[in-house]
Structure 1
Amino acid sequence: MLKASALYMVIVIALVIAIFSSSLIATAYYYRLEYQKNIRLGKLETNLHSGISMVLSASYPANQNGLEQRVDLFGEQNDSLLLRKEKWGIFEVGTVRSFVLADTLKKAFFVAEECTKDQTALYLSDEDRPLSVSGSTQITGDAELPKAGIKEAYVDGKPYAGKKLVDGKITDSSRELPKLNQSVLDDLEKYFADSLAEQEEIRDTLINSFFSEARIIRIPKSQPLISNRFIKGKIVLLCDTVLTIGENTELRDVMVFAPAIVVKEGFKGSCQLYARDSVVAAAKTVFEYPSAIGVLRKSDNGQPRIELGSECRFSGVLFSWERKRSELQTIISLGKDALVKGEVFATGFVKMAKPLTIDGRVACNRFIIQTPSTLYENYLIDITINRKRRSKYYLSSFLFDRKSPKQILQWLN
């Protein structure tokens, strides 16, 4: 006869076998779920990259109304994308969502143009006068200059100290600056004419995703000041009077439109500032890449200007524009020891305080340099303009209409 303990042992062994078998079945089940999840994730990532390539293609235009477009990649109803590309100041912003049922991957990014083929460091309109260089001036890169050419000059008893007047190819410029992209300018003009945006008091922190609709906020005329604020994302700030941006304010990716804008010392951020009359940035302000400051002239009154104070650091695009050349042309003024990495374009004058460094490209009708004793026109004194020192990863704005391939300027999420 079997002992009673034998039955107990059989039950224990059966229980162990059952637990082990159940574990194997559960492991196989969850392994299959994870495997299927990884397959879906890989498929979503592949579709996401396909969507990004579509948005970057020249055949995919920016949508003026900002609506998302649904795309079925293979017509099988299981590879769906939501695409959107719209203008954001002098750049474009793209969003891509790849989804299968409840699984979604998404990316938002700024879009800009390649500019590696353009090796121009300096463009000076031909006004029948030469460009004179003195002191420690260095021009590295190609230069388009008046037919009168470039020459050395003595200023304050100091000769030109360099070995080459231009370290690059010299060609003749025309009497006019290259045309800017009018459609980009027209889109900026629409914000100045916006009369529907409602006034709103901005909280300490304001963030709006680029997957959402743009928030357009009008700053009250009674208090045209942004101070001690953090503002980021798809936000447009409008003001009907002179707007002051305080030193304790940080702006990220937002656009600002006002008749005039004053940026206080200590400001640091990356944004786009546009004005009718002037944008004045105090000393030691820092504008990180990709920033933009533009003045768009509307009337013949005054002399619209952009002014960067001494020791400013600016990375991006500085430009002034007027439809027709006036007697008092627009002016971009760069302070002593300022550093600009990017592009400076003035449909008028560029005024410089020596010493000054521009890593990139500058284009204007005339240069102005003020010394304690004299005002010099079309002189460069202790000025460094170096196209080769600008980063090879720098991307330019559609404002300059190069018709170059589009690339991702910055990820936004």
Structure 2
Amino acid sequence: MKLFTRIKAGALQFVIFTGVVVALLLGTFLILVHVQHMFGKQTDVTIQAVKNTDFGIAYALANNINFNDSVKISGLEGNPITIHKSNWGVYEKISSASNLKNKKFSKIVLVGGQYPSKLRPALYLKDEKRPLVVVGHTKIEGLSYLPEQGVRSGNIAGTSYFSETFIHGAIKKSNNTLPELSPELKTAIEELSSGNFLSSASASLNPDNKIEYKNSFFNETQYLLNSGILTVSASTLIGNIIVWSDRKIIIGPGNVLEDIIAIAPEIEIQNNFKGSLQAFATKKITVGNNCTLNYPSALVLNDKTPSVKGNYQQENPAHIFIDKGTTLQGAIVYISGDAEANYTPQIILRESSEIVGEVYCSENLELNGTVKGSVYTSKFIANQSGSIYQNHIYNGKIINSELPREYAGLIMNDNYKKTVKWLY
């Protein structure tokens, strides 16, 4: 009778090998579970930080925060959020930052104003005791605020009005003042057009031609400053950049410009330019033909030159001129503290030009093109056949329904704030 059985050495090695493999698998499994658990916690923290940042943006849109000021609020589950509000041209710029454990997350958003679609006016014509006169193929579609004298058809050089309906939409009575831009927006326009921001312009760029600068809105603003005429050609300028000249800026068609601000007494955008920018001037802004200014662009003229009362052809009047075939997506603004009567147009939209957004003119608008959105003006001017016709629109079109629902633009006293775009 055998009491012991001899086991081969190879079998023992197999058992040991199997045990090692099982131990490694168990160890790997435990490490995987731990890593997944840690990633889960990190993901939860990241998601919470993102939600807090979004909460900060929503808070800033719904509450008044002083410009150039930072406030701290308690976010979701009491976590701290830092909110800062400033302006970027005619828009507000809001940053929101959340610190949660070792996770930091921040967002910057550009903010504009918006009316509910049913309350958004196609036309607001200031009541100056004079009717609106429509001639030719003029078309106004949408809610319109008109003087007490209303609207009627007219005749210019043998051309009468070609439609039976004057206004395709509801009509309400306007007041003797235009709807007010927000105080913050008016302050921003004054500071930018007067150059008051220059005292804090610390990061200056080289104004040579064929330059390439890209600057995130998370960084300090960079400035391209120049005395005399500044010609921007074959250059790339993207992001948080302000271009300034004490005389004139000329922008050629071969540039790549996105989201920048240009400031000078005179600004000329040459034929066939494509890009997005905000232009601020005090004397003149001219845009050539077949240009495309993408959303959210803006042309703003803060006129400090008083007009001459009764002068039909004032010499070199301050104005914004948009030539044929040009499309602008955004806002055009002319404001002046001068109340003197004048008979020259301060905003001129040539035939086949198209504005998708808003036109705000505190004096005279010559509308020969199309506005898909809203027009606010004190008066219309038509220069036709060598004569000047007051409060006439000749072949101009205002079609409110073709403004995209997502559009947000000028911040007024009575509209609400909405995201324009997320900045980078």
Q: Same fold (TM over 0.5)?
A: yes
Three-state SS of the structure 2 residue aligned to 1:120 is coil
Residue pair 1:131, 1:378 contacting (<8 A) in 2 also: yes
1:385-404, aligned counterparts within 5 Å? Answer: 385-398=398-411, 400-402=412-414, 404=415
- Of 322, 330, 346 in structure 2, the residue corresponding to residue 316 of structure 1 is 330
After TM superposition, give the deviation of residue 330 of structure 1 in Å: 6.2
Correspondence 1:409 to 2:383: no
Distance change (3 Å), C-alpha of 1:358 and 1:177:
same
- Of 213, 225, 240 in structure 2, the residue corresponding to residue 234 of structure 1 is 240
Correspondence 1:289 to 2:295: yes
How far apart, in 2, do the equivalents of 1:52 and 1:245 lie?
Answer: 34
Correspondence 1:54 to 2:59: yes
How far apart, in 1, do the equivalents of 2:91 and 2:337 lie?
Answer: 21
Aligned to 1:94: 94
- Counterpart residue type for residue 121 of structure 1: A
Alpha-carbon deviations, 1:122-177, whole Å to 9, x = none? 22233333222222221111222222221122344443222311112223333333
Three-state SS of the structure 2 residue aligned to 1:97 is strand
After TM superposition, give the deviation of residue 72 of structure 1 in Å: 4.7
Distance change (3 Å), C-alpha of 1:366 and 1:406:
closer
Residue pair 1:330, 1:347 contacting (<8 A) in 2 also: no
How far apart, in 1, do the equivalents of 2:76 and 2:135 lie?
Answer: 63
Instruction: Report the TM-score, using the length of structure 1 for normalisation.
Output: 0.90
Alpha-carbon deviations, 1:260-292, whole Å to 9, x = none? 000011211222111010000000111111111
1:13-28, aligned counterparts within 5 Å? Answer: 13-28=18-33
Three-state SS of the structure 1 residue aligned to 2:282 is strand
Q: State, as a whole percentage, how many aligned pairs show the same letter.
A: 23
- Counterpart residue type for residue 318 of structure 2: P
RMSD of Structure 2 on Structure 1 (CA) = 2.3
How far apart, in 2, do the equivalents of 1:295 and 1:248 lie?
Answer: 25
Three-state SS of the structure 1 residue aligned to 2:266 is strand
How far apart, in 2, do the equivalents of 1:273 and 1:17 lie?
Answer: 70
Distance change (3 Å), C-alpha of 1:13 and 1:128:
closer
Aligned to 1:213: 220
After TM superposition, give the deviation of residue 217 of structure 1 in Å: 3.2
1:116-135, aligned counterparts within 5 Å? Answer: 116=116, 117-135=118-136
After TM superposition, give the deviation of residue 19 of structure 1 in Å: 1.7
Number of residue equivalences: 403
Three-state SS of the structure 1 residue aligned to 2:401 is coil
Residue pair 1:95, 1:210 contacting (<8 A) in 2 also: no
- Counterpart residue type for residue 232 of structure 2: I
Correspondence 1:186 to 2:183: no
How far apart, in 2, do the equivalents of 1:183 and 1:94 lie?
Answer: 14
Residue pair 1:250, 1:267 contacting (<8 A) in 2 also: no
After TM superposition, give the deviation of residue 71 of structure 1 in Å: 4.3
How far apart, in 1, do the equivalents of 2:404 and 2:63 lie?
Answer: 24
How far apart, in 2, do the equivalents of 1:170 and 1:393 lie?
Answer: 25
After TM superposition, give the deviation of residue 200 of structure 1 in Å: 3.7
Three-state SS of the structure 1 residue aligned to 2:360 is strand
How far apart, in 2, do the equivalents of 1:297 and 1:72 lie?
Answer: 43
1:21-40, aligned counterparts within 5 Å? Answer: 21-40=26-45
Correspondence 1:172 to 2:178: no
Aligned to 1:204: 211
Distance change (3 Å), C-alpha of 1:100 and 1:244:
same
After TM superposition, give the deviation of residue 372 of structure 1 in Å: 3.9
Distance change (3 Å), C-alpha of 1:377 and 1:405:
closer
After TM superposition, give the deviation of residue 74 of structure 1 in Å: 6.4
